[in-house]
Amino acid sequence: MQNKIETTTYEPTLIGKMISWLFVIAVLAAGIVNTFWGQPSGFGIFLIMLSFVYFLPVNEIFKKIFGVPIPKIRLLKILLGIFIIWAALGVGELFDKIEVMQNDLNN
Q: Given pLDDT bands bounded at 50, 70 and 90, which one contains residue 3? A: low
Flag whether 5 is in a domain: no
Burial class from Cβ neighbours inside 10 Å (0-12, 13-18, 19+) for residue 7 reads exposed
Residues whose CB falls within 8 Å of the CB of residue 92, separated by 6 or more in sequence, listed in order: 30, 34, 38, 43, 47
The domain in which residue 41 lies consists of 15-106
Maximal C-alpha separation, the chain: 77
Q: Per the domain annotation, does 38 fall within a domain? A: yes
Tell me if 7 is assigned to some domain.
no
Within a domain: 9: no
pLDDT tens digit sequence for 8-67: 555 668 888 888 889 889 889 888 888 888 777 888 898 888 888 888 787 778 788 888
Total-model pTM: 0.69
Number of domains in the chain: 1
CA dihedral 104, 48, 26, 35 (to 10 degrees): -10
